[in-house]
Chain A
Amino acid sequence: MDEPLVRWDWIARNWDNGGPTSVKVLLENHIVMAFVPVVAGLLIAIPLGLACARYRWLYQPTVGIMNVVYSLPSLALFSILLSVTGLTQTTVIIPLTLFSLAVLIPAVVDGMRSVPDHVRQSAVAMGFQPVSRLLRVELPIAVPVVLAGLRVAAVSSISLVSVGALIGQGGLGYLFIDGWQRQFYTPIVVGIVLVVALALVADLVIIVAQRLLTPWARRTS
Chain B
Amino acid sequence: MITFDGVTKRYADGTVAVDDLSLEVPTGAITVFVGPSGCGKTTSLRMINRMIDPTEGRILLDGKDVTGVDPATLRRGIGYVIQQAGLFPHRRIVDNVATVPLLLGWDKRKARDRAMELLERVGLDPKLARRYPFQLSGGQQQRVGVARALAADPPVLLMDEPFSAVDPIVRTSLQEELLRLQAELHKTIVFVTHDIDEAVKLGDTVAVLRVGGKLAQIAEPADLLSDPADDFVREFLGRDRGIRRLGFVPAKDLALEPAPDGVTPEGHGTFNPAKDSLRAALDAALLSPDGLAVAVDDDGRVLGVVDQAVLVGAARG
Contacts and interface: CB of A to CB of B under 8 A. Distances in A.
9 contacts: A118-B85, A121-B82, A122-B86, A122-B88, A124-B75, A125-B75, A214-B90, A215-B132, A217-B89
B132 A118 contact: no
Interface of B: 49, 51, 71-76, 78, 80, 82-91, 99-100, 103, 132-134, 145, 148, 158
Given A121-B86, A143-B90, A215-B132, 20 more contacts: A116-B84, A116-B89, A118-B83, A118-B84, A118-B86, A119-B87, A119-B88, A122-B80, A122-B82, A122-B145, A125-B75, A125-B78, A125-B158, A126-B80, A126-B99, A126-B103, A126-B148, A127-B73, A141-B88, A216-B132
B161 to A, nearest CB: 11
Interface string A89-130: 000000000000000000000000000101101111111110
A215 B130 CA distance: 12
A125 B80 contact: yes
Contacts of A118: 82-86
A124 B91 contact: no
Contacts of B75: 124-127
Interface residues of A, number: 21
B73 to A, nearest CB: 7
Given A121-B51, A121-B82, A127 B91 contact: no
Contacts of B132: 215-216
A141 B89 CA distance: 7
4 closest A-B pairs by beta carbon, nearest first, are A122-B86, A127-B76, A125-B80, A127-B75
Contacts of A143: 90
Contacts of B99: 126
Contact of A140 (B49, B80, B90): B90
A192 interface: no
Given A215-B132, A216-B132, A123 B88 contact: yes
A56 interface: no
A125 B51 contact: yes
Contacts of B134: 216, 218
A137 B103 contact: no
Contacts of A125: 49, 51, 75, 78, 80, 82, 86, 158
A125 B86 CA distance: 10
Contacts of A124: 51, 75
Given A118-B85, A122-B80, A216-B134, A127 B90 contact: no
